[in-house]
Structure 1
Amino acid sequence: MSETLHRTTLEPTPRDEPHGAPPPAAGPHRVVIVGGGFGGLTTARGLGGAEGIAVTLIDRRNHHLFQPLLYQVATAVIAPGEIAEPIRAILRWDRNVSVLMGEVEGVDTEERAVRLRDGTRIPYDTLVLATGATHSYFGHPEWERYAPGLKTLDDARRIRARVLLAFEAAEREDDPAARERLMTFAVIGGGPTGVEMAGAIAGLAHHALSQDFRRIDPKQARILLIEAAPRVLGTFTEDLSAYARRSLERLGVTVLTEHAVEDVSEEGVTVAGKLIPAATIVWGAGVRASPAGEWLGVETTRQGHVPVGPDLAVIGRPGVYALGDLAMAKAEDGKPLPGLAQVADQQGRYLGRALRDRILHGTVPKPFRFRSRGNLAIIGHNSGVVQWDRVKLKGFLAWLVWGVAHVYLLVGFHNRLVVTLRWLWAYLSFQRGARLISERDEAVMALIRGTPPGRIPPP
């Protein structure tokens, strides 16, 4: 996260109160949480059962989603329902927590109310913003049409349909050039998401689909990983980064570092002035925080992150807290915390306890301290890299640690059991269990309506 701030419309600070202190209220103290991701959900669970506190969690979707595994939905390893759980089901035993499905479009900090798109106003005494992040196309929003990113289940379903349809269309394509374009997959961004996505597509082509077609050989698919920086996995040490690159290349992935993307279109990706024809493009190069900073009228980083204090309170907005991908929180060494699931999870656990103590007992919480569980990335079928302080792992052992860590973060025993069994089956059989293409998908319907082979419309 950049620490450079820019100013949005800055409003006067409402009420002259100690920073972060809740105002007096008649009846239960009203805590409104916006966002049902890791940060928002764990905050709500921390406040669950607290007498004297009424919690309302608002999310535009009815489910909590484990985003780090979306790429496995997009490459048909697991089904969508295995990494999502209804928010109401998760919080059903917390009788003081209500769940509203709605889309927030603004915050009235003067009157202390959250505004929903349908005009509803939800009053609060304490507000927690855990609204996450979205894709950043570096000033080219038009690229999203051709290079979708991975943030929602719908994103993953569309990418999965596009990947599978590319092979289906190539099977019926007679023109060699069009067939080559259909069997070229470009992943933009060499961070963990891009590395994992490229490796998963390679596994799909080289193993799960390798015997399923008669006119094409899926093993001949061309998979590109394009990164503008000098190396992939730039947050890892150079030796682990080099290992990741070698592992990807062994899987058949062509890694293009120091190659900035200049254009993305229906035809493919333009790099170094040259068009690379590709029917399937996946974006994993950048993210931007949600517009919550604009709702509050506070200074944000260039990526939209909202600066917070040591207790995750938004600077200049008493009674408002931010966490997860939205917040620009700092570690003990002064460096910004990364946008990882484990950061949001720990922040939510901290904030749930801190708000409970502050509201019920007037206790000033200790500063939040992040305890890193390591930097992890998986590379293909049974390889990965892990960096944890001075400990570094690579290969199968790193893959195993990655799997354990991600299963641990999954919400619900059912999800953990199902995903663990699915991974075990995929590891032993090289098969993918979620390779169905829905007729409701736009790309499928276009193909059925007679779209010329080799021209699958973007999702």
Structure 2
Amino acid sequence: MRSVAPADVAFDRSAPGRETSREPATVSRGNTLPAAASSPPRVVILGAGFGGLEAAKALADAPVDVTLVDRQNHHCFQPLLYQVATAALSPADIAWPVRAILRDQPNLRVVMATATGIDRDRRHVLTDQIALPFDHLVVATGATHSYFGHDEWAAVAPGLKRIEDATRIRGRLLAAFEKAEVTTDAEARRRLMTFVVIGGGPTGVEMAGAIAEVARQTLRRDFRRIDPALSRIVLVEAGPRLLPALPADLSAYAEAELRRMGVEVRTSSAVTSCDRLGIVMGTERLDAETLVWAAGVRASPAADWLGVESDRAGRIGVAPDLSVPGTAGIYAIGDTASLQGSDGRPIPGIAPAAKQMGRHVGRLIAARVAGDEAAASRPFRYRHHGDLATIGRRAAVVRIGRLHLKGFLGWLFWSLAHVYYLIGARNRIVVAFTWMWSYLTFQRGARLINS
């Protein structure tokens, strides 16, 4: 790691990002990274998610210094977090050290720190560890859970965005059965064996189906005083149907499959209150020990850091090339950005979109550094590869253009696609083998309560 400069290093406003004086600067913890007079342009990427990694890789051959910042040391494959939460996979199966992923890229360094702000005038990123000057900035800080103004619900209804979320939900799920095994109160046992998933999008559908499999199959012979198969799993959706982004026929199939698995599907039912004993839907009270939130997301506070406008979800409205209007050399991608595609619809906040955005911005910066202004201003063109959601061990729904797949064929396609997008041969082999073993034996090997 490079040495750090004293707290009083500052930057000349007339030449953003270049150190020219000893004028005091506001930095985090008194540290900033200096640049030599002849150093190449500095690119800072905030976030090592799908978009941030692709942006970094796209700059591998560019004459720039890249700094990738993330508060965690690993990249997480979020589409499979629900499988960690339901004990099908271990965290290490879907997460990889960022340094290992990018170890062969000599123009890149990784900084583990939490971003706390962006100084647009002096052109540096503030973190809890160090201040990072930049000439080009890529904001890929992602999104977190949105409780629609009720942030107090987070303590009782955790969402699913990070490894820590998944292991916490897994602990609550498995502990509920353990508590039910020893309680002598019938009413308490019913509440302990009731599980509520709030939100009928892909995450909610996948989570509800996986919990049903745990209760009906994995745990059915493991307890002596309770029958896990008698568990009540409820999926609550405020809208009129599940998977609203998918065609009606696939949505109806998903609901029918969930009901066949024993999941209660409650559509057109908005949650109005959550507490440690359950939820309220309008005037109806539903007692439950375990709640999982899958109903909404909001972007990071990047818009506030930059002092620019954002939509209701906190996303920055970006220009067609993904640059942030009113700023120079600053881009927003993934869940941080709001942009309409060529079809007039908002680009979805999914991994393939973030990867495409990251690759595009990386190429734009490389072109700008090379002096190719025409290539440096090309608009982003999103290519939608399809929509997928799995419902259980042998059922999924898939839409690729006009092609609709469901049932076992959809599940097989879903499985192959997710294995393909995993990072590294080791993880692909482990996940594929684990799924095959679980399919044949109905077992889940990651049933650990560690929180």
Could you state the TM-score of these two structures normalised by the residue count of structure 2?
Answer: 0.90
The worse-fitting range, judged by mean Cα deviation, of 362-371 and 321-330 is: 362-371
Query: For the residues of structure 2 that align with 1:82 and 1:113, how far apart are their CA atoms?
Result: 35
Contact preservation (8 Å) 1:323, 1:347 = yes
For the pair 1:408 / 2:408, whether they are aligned, the reply is no
Q: In structure 2, which of residues 102, 108, 111 is the aligned counterpart of residue 100 of structure 1? A: 111
For residue 414 of structure 2, what is the amino acid of its counterpart? Answer: W
Q: Secondary structure at the match of 2:168?
A: helix
Contact preservation (8 Å) 1:70, 1:151 = yes
Q: Which residue of 1 aligns with 2:65?
A: 54
Deviations 1:149-195 (A, max 9, x none): 00111110010000000001101111111000000000000000000
Query: For the residues of structure 1 that align with 2:85 and 2:285, how far apart are their CA atoms?
Result: 25
For residue 116 of structure 1, what is the amino acid of its counterpart? Answer: T
The worse-fitting range, judged by mean Cα deviation, of 402-411 and 190-199 is: 402-411
The worse-fitting range, judged by mean Cα deviation, of 411-420 and 358-367 is: 358-367
Q: Which residue of 1 aligns with 2:251?
A: 241
The worse-fitting range, judged by mean Cα deviation, of 330-339 and 182-191 is: 330-339
Q: Which residue of 1 aligns with 2:429?
A: 417
**1:230-269 → structure 2 map (5 Å cutoff):** 230-269=240-279
Q: Which residue of 2 aligns with 1:350?
A: 360
Q: In structure 2, which of residues 368, 384, 407 is the aligned counterpart of residue 372 of structure 1? A: 384
For residue 343 of structure 1, what is the amino acid of its counterpart? Answer: A
Q: Which residue of 2 aligns with 1:453?
A: none
Contact preservation (8 Å) 1:32, 1:126 = yes
For residue 219 of structure 2, what is the amino acid of its counterpart? Answer: L
Contact preservation (8 Å) 1:205, 1:221 = yes
Relative to structure 1, is the Cα distance of residues 264 and 93 closer, same or farther in structure 2, using a 3 angstrom cutoff? Answer: same
Query: For the residues of structure 2 that align with 1:344 and 1:353, how far apart are their CA atoms?
Result: 14
Q: In structure 2, which of residues 157, 166, 184 is the aligned counterpart of residue 174 of structure 1? A: 184
Deviation at 1:359, TM superposition (A): 1.3
Relative to structure 1, is the Cα distance of residues 30 and 421 closer, same or farther in structure 2, using a 3 angstrom cutoff? Answer: same
For the pair 1:278 / 2:288, whether they are aligned, the reply is yes
Contact preservation (8 Å) 1:49, 1:95 = no
Q: Which residue of 1 aligns with 2:336?
A: 326
Query: For the residues of structure 1 that align with 2:262 and 2:326, how far apart are their CA atoms?
Result: 51
For the pair 1:381 / 2:396, whether they are aligned, the reply is no
Relative to structure 1, is the Cα distance of residues 315 and 198 closer, same or farther in structure 2, using a 3 angstrom cutoff? Answer: same
Of structures 1 and 2, the one scoring higher in RCO (CA 8 A, sep 6+) is 1
The worse-fitting range, judged by mean Cα deviation, of 54-63 and 385-394 is: 385-394
Query: For the residues of structure 2 that align with 1:288 and 1:436, how far apart are their CA atoms?
Result: 30
Query: For the residues of structure 1 that align with 2:413 and 2:334, how far apart are their CA atoms?
Result: 23
Identity within the alignment, %: 54
Deviation at 1:40, TM superposition (A): 0.2
Q: Which residue of 2 aligns with 1:397?
A: 409
Deviation at 1:16, TM superposition (A): 11
Q: Which residue of 1 aligns with 2:91?
A: 80
Deviations 1:229-251 (A, max 9, x none): 00010111111111000000001
Q: Which residue of 1 aligns with 2:4?
A: none
Query: For the residues of structure 1 that align with 2:419 and 2:337, how far apart are their CA atoms?
Result: 25
Deviation at 1:27, TM superposition (A): 2.0
Deviations 1:212-271 (A, max 9, x none): 111111100000000010001011111111100000000110000011001000110111
Deviation at 1:374, TM superposition (A): 0.4
Query: For the residues of structure 2 that align with 1:413 and 1:212, how far apart are their CA atoms?
Result: 34
Q: Secondary structure at the match of 2:370?
A: helix
For the pair 1:122 / 2:132, whether they are aligned, the reply is yes
Deviation at 1:272, TM superposition (A): 2.3
**1:304-343 → structure 2 map (5 Å cutoff):** 304-343=314-353
List runs of 5+ in structure 1 lacking aligned partners. Answer: 1-13, 18-24, 442-459
Q: In structure 1, which of residues 426, 439, 447 is the aligned counterpart of residue 438 of structure 2? A: 426
Query: For the residues of structure 1 that align with 2:251 and 2:363, how far apart are their CA atoms?
Result: 38
For residue 243 of structure 1, what is the amino acid of its counterpart? Answer: Y
Query: For the residues of structure 2 that align with 1:260 and 1:123, how far apart are their CA atoms?
Result: 46
For the pair 1:89 / 2:100, whether they are aligned, the reply is yes
Contact preservation (8 Å) 1:312, 1:321 = yes
For residue 151 of structure 1, what is the amino acid of its counterpart? Answer: K
For residue 417 of structure 1, what is the amino acid of its counterpart? Answer: I
Query: For the residues of structure 1 that align with 2:390 and 2:325, how far apart are their CA atoms?
Result: 37
Query: For the residues of structure 1 that align with 2:14 and 2:404, how far apart are their CA atoms?
Result: 50
Query: For the residues of structure 1 that align with 2:315 and 2:227, how far apart are their CA atoms?
Result: 45
Deviations 1:117-158 (A, max 9, x none): 24x211000000000000000110110010000011111001
Q: Which residue of 2 aligns with 1:22?
A: none
Query: For the residues of structure 2 that align with 1:15 and 1:190, how far apart are their CA atoms?
Result: 51
Query: For the residues of structure 2 that align with 1:62 and 1:368, how far apart are their CA atoms?
Result: 29
Deviations 1:283-329 (A, max 9, x none): 00000000001000001001100111121111111100010011002
For residue 421 of structure 2, what is the amino acid of its counterpart? Answer: L
Q: In structure 2, which of residues 56, 63, 70 is the aligned counterpart of residue 44 of structure 1? A: 56
Deviation at 1:425, TM superposition (A): 1.1
For the pair 1:303 / 2:317, whether they are aligned, the reply is no
Query: For the residues of structure 2 that align with 1:391 and 1:273, how far apart are their CA atoms?
Result: 41
For residue 227 of structure 2, what is the amino acid of its counterpart? Answer: D
Deviation at 1:26, TM superposition (A): 4.1
Q: Which residue of 2 aligns with 1:3?
A: none
Query: For the residues of structure 2 that align with 1:382 and 1:258, how far apart are their CA atoms?
Result: 27
Query: For the residues of structure 2 that align with 1:222 and 1:245, how far apart are their CA atoms?
Result: 16
Relative to structure 1, is the Cα distance of residues 54 and 171 closer, same or farther in structure 2, using a 3 angstrom cutoff? Answer: same
Aligned residues: 417
Deviation at 1:41, TM superposition (A): 0.6
Deviation at 1:369, TM superposition (A): 1.2
Relative to structure 1, is the Cα distance of residues 15 and 205 closer, same or farther in structure 2, using a 3 angstrom cutoff? Answer: farther
Q: In structure 2, which of residues 109, 115, 124 is the aligned counterpart of residue 113 of structure 1? A: 124
Q: Which residue of 2 aligns with 1:444?
A: none
For residue 407 of structure 1, what is the amino acid of its counterpart? Answer: V
Query: For the residues of structure 1 that align with 2:85 and 2:154, how far apart are their CA atoms?
Result: 16
Deviation at 1:349, TM superposition (A): 1.9
For the pair 1:32 / 2:44, whether they are aligned, the reply is yes
For residue 209 of structure 1, what is the amino acid of its counterpart? Answer: L
